[in-house]
Amino acid sequence: MASSSFSLYPSLTLVAFLLLLFPVRRTAGSCYTSIFSFGDSITDTGNLLLSTGDNCLSGRLPYGETFFGRPTGRFSDGRLIIDFIAEAMGIPFLPPSLRGGSCGGFRRGVNFAVAGATVLNNGFFKERGIDVTWTNMSFGVQMGLFKKLISFCDTESKDTLSRSLFLVGEIGGNDYYQGFLQSWPFQEVKSLVPHVINTISTAINDLIGMGAKTLLVPGNFPIGCMAAFLTYFENSKVEDYNTSTGCINWLNEFSEYHNNVLKQELNRLRYIHPHATIIYADYFNSVMNILSPANSTRLDRVPLAACCGSGGGRYNYSESVNCGSEYSTVCDDPLTYLSWDGLHFTEATYKAIAKGLLEGPFADPSINKACSSSNIGFVVKELTSNVSKVD
């Protein structure tokens, strides 16, 4: 694949992403002994690659080049949010569930997330006349696989789950993405939100009923800042764009609507499950903080263009030339970019988000604070350099 020094804006200096250089911390005597994860491509550590093989772009370079030096099925140049959380907890990178293995291999956790997964099952979209071309591993299917694993592997599952951290998402973005791609009216896409939130809520109830005590539930990203959506909905209407960030206002308002409904539901679940800790992960404001003019660690402009993409256009994104395809190009330094391939972020961005979840202020409560309130306690020290890159 050809390489390019394509850049829409001047490169950021080291200071611009200073927060990314702060080490992610790990625990000593962590109160979480394992992590179980569900979601889509934001969290997938290889499930789609295992199910599709050579047809999966995330199985080709430059995916994985920054940290792993090879593609691993992650839709980024390196580690994901879940990887940084696992490192901080002293837990190995989560194996994708489709890899299989013995029950003992899942004692530290497993990742059920699959790129392209929706919250709503495929039948929901087929009934609405959408030709389903993505994975059949919806959130409900992932939950079913998790329940089978626990039933088969662990006769004391409640004890195991009570000492585990559950990452419930990010998921839901693909449901809305399909509606937007089909040019549904805004209100019709918006009508999906209650269905999505109800399904997430049911899963949280099920997990708590099975013994889960700590759940991290992310909101949606500001999709109006993502290169793919900026390309799809590019227009000359000045009022559609935020003058400070360059993001599309109405798309970000949609993400905020989803997030507000989700937060309301999480408050309801906290009330009926007072002995569980349900943490809201604010992915939206974490990204907006990176883009904000008030952020003293940034320069005048964080590139909204994709680092890896078509090699042209305002946002370096095209449906016909995807990152990892023959004619795609890649920027010289992903550290200076928010977006990796137009729909997913760079390792640098994911690290910043993870730091905000672990230490605040973009998790309510922060993972560290939730851990500190346990009987085991939480002691932080610098991340050691011997974390294996082989997952």
Residues in the chain: 391
Q: Within a domain: residue 323?
A: no
Q: Within a domain: residue 82?
A: yes
C-alpha distance from residue 385 to each of 25, 90, 378, 379, 389 (Å)? 11, 12, 20, 18, 10
Is residue 352 within 8 Å of residue 290, measured between CB atoms?
A: yes
Q: Within a domain: residue 317?
A: no
Residues contacting 194, CB < 8 A, separation 6+ = 261
Q: Look up 391 and say whether it is catalytic.
A: no
CA distance 279 to 169: 12
CA distance 153 to 167: 20
Total domain count for the chain?
1
- pLDDT of 359 reads 87
pLDDT digits (tens, 9 = 90+) for 107-126: 789 999 999 999 999 999 89
Q: Look up 97 and say whether it is catalytic.
A: no
Low-confidence stretches of the chain (pLDDT < 70) are: 1-30, 102, 104-105, 154-158, 294-302, 372-391
Tokens for 177, please give them.
Answer: 């993405």
Q: What does the angle CA 304 – CA 309 – CA 313 come to, to the nearest 5 degrees?
A: 65
Cβ-count burial 50-71 (b if 16+ within 10 Å, e if not)? bbbeeebbbbbebbbbbbbeeb
- The boundaries of the domain holding residue 243 are 31-277+358-376
- pLDDT of 128 reads 85
pLDDT digits (tens, 9 = 90+) for 14-40: 223 333 333 444 443 467 889 999 999
Tokens for 3, please give them.
Answer: 């390489």
Q: For the domain that residue 189 is a member of, what is the CATH number?
A: 3.40.50
pTM for the structure as a whole: 0.87
- pLDDT of 371 reads 76
Cβ-count burial 342-374 (b if 16+ within 10 Å, e if not)? bbbbbbbbbbbbbbbbbbeebbeebbbbbbeee
- pLDDT of 162 reads 87
Q: Look up 318 and say whether it is catalytic.
A: no
Q: Within a domain: residue 43?
A: yes
Q: Within a domain: residue 198?
A: yes
Q: What does the angle CA 63 – CA 68 – CA 71 come to, to the nearest 5 degrees?
A: 35
- pLDDT of 103 reads 72
CA distance 358 to 88: 8
Query: Active site residue: 34, 37, 41, 164, which one?
Result: 41
Q: Write down the residue that tokens 């790129």 correspond to.
A: 115
What are residue 207's DSSP bridge partners? none
Q: Within a domain: residue 251?
A: yes
What are residue 248's DSSP bridge partners? 241
Query: Active site residue: 40, 44, 282, 341, which one?
Result: 341
* Identity at 7, one-letter amino acid code: S
Cis peptide before 303 (omega within 30 of 0): no
Query: Active site residue: 34, 37, 77, 344, which one?
Result: 344
* Kind of pairing between the strands at 363-364 and 277-281: antiparallel
pLDDT digits (tens, 9 = 90+) for 264-306: 999 999 999 999 999 999 999 999 999 887 664 444 456 799 9
